Amino acid sequence: MADLTAQCGSAVLRTPIVLASGPSGFGAELLRGAALAGVGAVTTKTLTPTARGGNPQPRLVDAPAGVLNSVGLENPGLESFLQNELPGLRELPAAIVVSMTANDPAEIGRMAMRLSGELCVAAIELNLSCPNVSGRPAGDDPVLVGRFVRAAVDCGSKPVLAKLAGDRGDVRVPGEAALTAGAAGLTLINSVRGVRIDRRTGRPLFHRVFGGLSGPAILPIALARVYEARLAFPDALIVGTGGVTDLGGLLEMLFAGADLVGIGFGVMGTPRLAGELAAELDRWLADHGIVRAAELVSAAHRGGIGVPVGIAALNR
């Protein structure tokens, strides 16, 4: 059995597979189905300071090789999550990453502080790039990115991941801002803004017109962002998320530079996908005579697999 463990801040994860924020809800639903085999960490749906109902139906619209969503950050609010959902998650065999967002850095600071005492929370993921709410995402403005991250880092005690968009500007700009402000890493990417229009009526299908595209369609986009970010930030923790639904996608994401790999759309279709992927990764590593999954990370930046890790470290 190969060593699949991966590091997330000071937490050691069983596998590099992370349930991305959104499709896995707040964890309890998957816990009921014992669908957590192979999961290294569970990222909650994004929490806000107070409850949000989210967007009206329709919230899911099919797209070639994926789906567009317009859920709109439906969540019970941080306090309700802490009281009603988190206790059930404490016994999980996986680490917990709490995804959060707010309108201003002060609120983020308060939320981060509130989570400081929760031992089971391994990290905070700041959702700075949701395509499904009004206003410009904070991730578009590097100054705001820095402020949000700084607030979470200064007021809280958890490692902070900044979740950035796949389709807006140069990822190195907000990435640099986040890491300079103290972020431990970056989650790349959020769903990609898209539109679908009713062919019978000529009207946009979503009430908010735009939705977020996820699924295999966005895998190459996510890989590009991860590759680019890894080149620019050799030491940052990178969670590569976007379109991974099989072992091939998982491997590509690791090769591109992701330390951890998020699965979202794939879990919606197959709740036990993480367990399947972990078993396949284990077999693949054995077939290739590779002892540790972590050796695959950034292989694309050092001439592919088979190059000794020591040399790769020098190349960084």
Q: Nearer Cβ to other proteins, position 22 or 159?
A: 22
Q: Which of 53, 202, 289, 310 binds other proteins (CB under 8 A)?
A: 53
| 270, 276 Cβ separation under 8 angstroms | yes
Burial of 91 (0-12, 13-18, 19+ CB in 10 A): exposed
| 221, 192 Cβ separation under 8 angstroms | yes
Q: Which of 3, 12, 34, 288 binds other proteins (CB under 8 A)?
A: 34
SS3 314: helix
Q: Which of 8, 120, 130, 155 is catalytic?
A: 130
| 181, 146 Cβ separation under 8 angstroms | yes
Angle subtended at Cα 7 by Cα 227 and Cα 309, rounded to the nearest 5 degrees: 60
Q: Which of 30, 123, 183, 222 binds other proteins (CB under 8 A)?
A: 30
Q: Nearer Cβ to other proteins, position 59 or 147?
A: 59
**Contact region with other proteins (CB under 8 A), list: 19-27, 158-166, 196-204, 279-287:** 19-27
**What are the helix and strand counts (H, E) for the chain?**
11, 14
For the bound state, the minimum distance from the C-beta of residue 271 to other proteins, rounded and expressed in Å, comes to 5
| 163, 190 Cβ separation under 8 angstroms | yes
Print the binding letters for residues 240-259 with other proteins: x by CB under 8 A, - otherwise: -----xx-------------
Q: Which of 8, 11, 47, 67 binds other proteins (CB under 8 A)?
A: 67
Residues 262-291 that bind other proteins (CB under 8 A): 265-272
| Contacts (Cβ under 8 Å, ≥6 apart) of 211 | 61, 68, 69, 70, 131, 132, 191, 193, 194, 195, 196
**Distance, CA of 174 to CA of 136 (rounded, Å):** 14
- Active-site annotation holds for 8: no
Q: Which of 69, 99, 127, 190 binds other proteins (CB under 8 A)?
A: 69
Asked if 56 is part of the footprint of other proteins (rule: CB under 8 A), the reply reads: yes
For the bound state, the minimum distance from the C-beta of residue 94 to other proteins, rounded and expressed in Å, comes to 14
Rg of the chain over Cα atoms, rounded to whole angstroms, equals 18
Which residues are part of the catalytic machinery?
130
Tell me which residues touch other proteins (CB under 8 A). Answer: 22-25, 29-30, 32-35, 45, 53-54, 56-62, 65, 67, 69, 71, 74, 215-216, 245-246, 265-272
